[in-house]
Structure 1
């Protein structure tokens, strides 16, 4: 994809690339700290890289047709790896993100009506109400150093709470944030035994994760009980995602969710819905602070716009391109790992049962054969008449298991960025480069301080 740019685009900082000859155990040592830093230059240049993972082969795929085969054409042959299941099951249970086979099909069919464009449009007032409150709070903090990452986390958590339950997260937000931080700092990291033992063989960390899961599911069940106690008027239309999910029925079987299943689905939507969006918004604000000219283009597009409906959001073409480019450079899910259930052929390579397929949006989105100036921040590449290949750009995955909440997340991100930049000029106070690192999502290595001023 060729991009013409009048001014020289910014290139945000990234971790140093690993030596291509980094040993297996050297790579393992880096994985726990920053998975992104384990890849060398070859991974950004070659279409397929074959290696070994203990008794099995491993493949890094950067070829769109090969990725299409794994995620779409033959997706039933690939399942999550033991390490992936261990990282996610304690917080997501058997919800949509981890379910397989008939369980996944049932959940996907049942949840689909809750995430249609029309359903998302009905939730926009919840988003705008939280944004109004956030902008009002920021108004009294202009010209002072602020942590926009924390503010984005609180804001998206509040949006998640209101769109899910129609109540704010003032009382429960700190507890929920503590759960997330506790898990990410220790339990959400991959340890050696997590990667080599079958899921049926518990590791010492699995026992700690099980204890965490008991406390976590009790907390989510309490939120659901509080929402049910608030009730709903008979015959009234759904007012939030919980109404839609609680009333949802599989169109083929007529079955809904049990209370236990509902806990996992709600946990999945709250976590996936607020943490990844908060991270994407942080990176977008960081990039716009580094690139004041692009920031002014966003502000110019939103000038005079009230932005309180899906139609208003859809008109923000350049802001949407900024969000898309942000998720290209900082994909929330930096790695998709799959284990082969049976034999296959991918990009001419023989794949056997147990072999590991790695599709890394971090690599794919910066691959030198797929993108012009792959490390540069150029939002207008997403306004080109030649869009990127569907399997070269995977911020929300692809195929049957593409993120069901993608339209919701995109609407929220565009709306929030447009409203915030329309209200404030954003600049960095902290001169230290912010380095992305991959643990569960693509996080910054520290939270820089910003300064905002009213436009």
Structure 2
């Protein structure tokens, strides 16, 4: 994709690339700290890289046709890796993100009506109410440096709470954030035994994760009980995601979710929804602070706009391009790892049962054969007639398991960025580079301080 640029675009900082000859154990040592720092220059240039992961072969795929085969054409042959299951099951249980086979089919069919564009449109008032409150609070804090990453986390958590339950997260938000921080700082990291032992063999960290899961599911069940106690008038339309999920029925069997399944689905939607959106918004704000001219283009597009409906959001073409480009450079889900159930052939490479397939949006989105100026921030590339291959840009995955909440997340991100930049000019207080690192999502190595000025 060739992009013509009038001015020289900014190139945000990234971690140094690993030596191409980094040993397996050297790579394992880096993985716990920053997964995206384990890849060398070859991974940004070659279409398929074959290696070994203990007893099995491993493949990094950067070829759209090969990725299409794994995620779409033959997706049933590929499942999550043992390490991926260990990292996610304690917080997501058997929810949609981890379910396989018939369980996944049932959940996907049952949840689909809750995430249609029409359903998303009905939830926009919840988003705008939280944004109004956030902007009012920020307006009172313009005299001092501010941690916008924390603000985005609290804001998206509040949106998640209101769109899910129709109540604010003032009382429960701190507890929820503590759960997320506790898990991410220690239990959500891959340790050596997590990567080499079958899921059926508990590791020492698995025991700690199991204790965490007991406390976590009790907390989510308490939120559900509180929402049910609030009730719903008979015959009234659904007012939030919980109503939609609680009333959802499989169109083929008429079956709904059990209480245990509902806990996992709610946990999946709250965590996957608010954390990834907060991360995407933080990086978009960081990039706009580095690039004042692009920031002014966003502000100009939002001027005199009400921004309180899906139609208003859809008109923010440039703001949407900024979000798209931010998620290209900093994909919240930086790695999709799969294990082969059976033998296969991927782009001429023989895949055996148990082999590991890695599709890394971090690499794919910066690959030198797929993108012009791959490390540069150029939002207008997403407004060009020449769009990237569907399987070269994967911020929400692809194929049957594409993120079911993508329309919701996109609407929320565009609305939030447009409203925030329309209200404030955003600058960085410090000059220290912010380096991305991959643990569960693509996080900053530190939270920089920003200065905001009312427009």
Into which bin does the TM-score normalised by the smaller protein fall? over 0.9
SS at match of 2:426: strand
Deviation at 1:133, TM superposition (A): 0.2
Q: CA deviation at 1:353?
A: 0.1
**Cα-to-partner distance string for 1:28-49 (whole Å, 9 max, x where unaligned):** 0000000000000000000000
Aligned partners of 1:429 and 1:218: how far apart in 2?
41
SS of the residue corresponding to residue 239 of structure 1 reads coil
Offset at 1:328?
0.1
The structure 1 segments of at least 4 consecutive aligned residues displaced by more than 2 Å after TM superposition are none
Alignment partners' CA distance in 2, 1:387 and 1:167:
40
Q: Distance in 2 between matches of 1:26 and 1:309?
A: 50
Counterpart-to-counterpart distance in 2, 1:140 and 1:104: 46
Counterpart-to-counterpart distance in 2, 1:32 and 1:76 = 29
Deviation sequence 1:247-294 (CA, Å, 0-9, x none): 000000100000000000000000001000000000000000000000
Looking at structure 1, the residues matched to 386 and 398 of structure 2 have their Cα atoms a distance apart, in angstroms, of 19
Please give the secondary structure, in 2, of the residue aligned with 1:434. Answer: coil
In 2, Cα distance between the equivalents of 1:157 and 1:141?
20
Provide the TM-score with structure 2 as the length reference: 1.00
For residues 312-334 of structure 1, what are the alpha-carbon distances to aligned partners after superposition, in whole Å with 9 as ceiling and x for unaligned? 00000000000000000000000
In the alignment, the residues of structure 2 paired with residue 191 and residue 292 of structure 1 have an alpha-carbon distance, to the nearest angstrom, of 41
What SS class does the counterpart of residue 59 from structure 1 fall into? Answer: strand
State the match for 2:254 in structure 1.
254
Query: Per-residue CA shift, 1:71-93, capped at 9, x if unaligned?
Result: 00000000000000000000000
CA–CA separation in structure 2 for the residues paired with 1:320 and 1:388: 15
| Matches for 1:179-190 after TM superposition, within 5 Å | 179-190=179-190
- Provide, for residues 156-185 of structure 1, a one-character-per-residue CA deviation record: whole Å limited to 9, x for no partner: 000000000000000000000000000000
What CA distance in whole angstroms lies between the structure 1 residues aligned with 2:70 and 2:201? Answer: 27
Q: For 2:39 and 2:201, how far apart are their aligned partners in 1?
A: 29
Paired with 2:235 and 2:187, the residues of 1 have a C-alpha distance of 44
Q: Deviations over 1:208-237 (max 9, x none)?
A: 000000000000000000000000011000
Aligned partners of 1:327, 1:347: CA distance in 2, in Å?
A: 27
* SS of 1:226 mapped into structure 2: helix
CA deviations over 1:89-125 (Å, ceiling 9, x no partner): 0000000000000000000000000000000000000
SS of structure 2 residue aligned to 1:121: helix
CA distance in 1, matches of 2:256, 2:383: 41
Aligned equivalent of 1:131 = 131
The two structures have a TM-score, normalised by structure 1, of: 1.00
Cα deviation for residue 385 of structure 1 reads: 0.3
How far is the alpha carbon of 1:143 from its aligned partner? 3.1
Q: C-alpha distance in 2, partners of 1:265/1:152?
A: 23
Partner-residue secondary structure (3-state), 1:164: helix
C-alpha distance in structure 2 between counterparts of 1:105 and 1:199, whole Å: 22
Per the TM alignment, residue 52 of structure 1 is displaced from its structure 2 partner at its CA by: 0.3
CA distance in 1, matches of 2:53, 2:305: 53
Could you tell me which runs of 5 or more consecutive residues in structure 2 were left unpaired when the two chains were aligned: none
- Alpha-carbon distance in 2 for matches of 1:31, 1:260: 33
- How far does residue 144 in structure 1 lie from its aligned partner after superposition? 1.3
Distance 1:123 1:130 in 2: 12
1:430, distance to aligned residue in structure 2 (A): 1.7
* Structure 1 counterpart of 2:445: 445
Quote the RMSD (CA, aligned, Å): 0.3
Show CA shifts across 1:25-70 (max 9, x none).
0000000000000000000000000000011000000000000000
Q: For the residues of structure 2 that align with 1:209 and 1:317, how far apart are their CA atoms?
A: 43
SS in 2 for 1:421: helix
Q: For residues 146 and 308 of structure 2, what CA distance do their matches in structure 1 show?
A: 26
Write the distance in 2 (CA, Å) between the matches of 1:195 and 1:79. Answer: 15
1:427 alignment partner, SS class: strand
2:406 aligned with 1:406, yes or no? yes
Q: What is the CA distance between 1:338 and its match in structure 2?
A: 0.2
Q: CA deviation at 1:190?
A: 0.2
Mapped partners of 1:306, 1:443: distance in 2: 32
The 3-state SS of whatever aligns with 1:350 is: strand
Is 1:46 the equivalent of 2:40? no
What is the deviation of 1:431?
1.2
SS across alignment from 2:49: strand
